């Protein structure tokens, strides 16, 4: 199991490093759904997303 985890982490790191360097995916895999969804301003399940308001106070109902 340890080798599998190491293998997955190495692939993930290589893909991340290539992404940060502006290079193509070294494994020729499609981008994760989260990245694809962000480019279309929708969440992974197809809904529009909204940024939550920052508030330091709790609202009392």
This prediction has a pTM of 0.52
Whether residue 27 contacts residue 15, with contact meaning beta carbons closer than 8 Å, is answered with yes
| pLDDT for the residue numbered 26 | 95
Q: What pLDDT was estimated at residue 54?
A: 55
Mean pLDDT per 10-residue section of the chain, whose length is 61 residues = 96 94 93 69 51 53 50
Grouping H, G, I as helix, E, B as strand and the rest as coil, residue 55 is coil
Looking at residue 16, its pLDDT comes to 92
Distance CA 37, CA 1 (A): 32
């Amino acid at each position: 199991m340890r080798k599998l985890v190491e293998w997955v982490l190495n692939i993930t790191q290589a893909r991340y490093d290539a992404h940060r360097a502006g290079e193509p995916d070294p494994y020729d895999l499609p981008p994760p759904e989260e990245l694809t969804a962000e480019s279309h301003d929708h969440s992974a399940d197809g809904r529009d997303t909204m940024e939550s308001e920052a508030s330091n106070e709790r609202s009392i109902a």
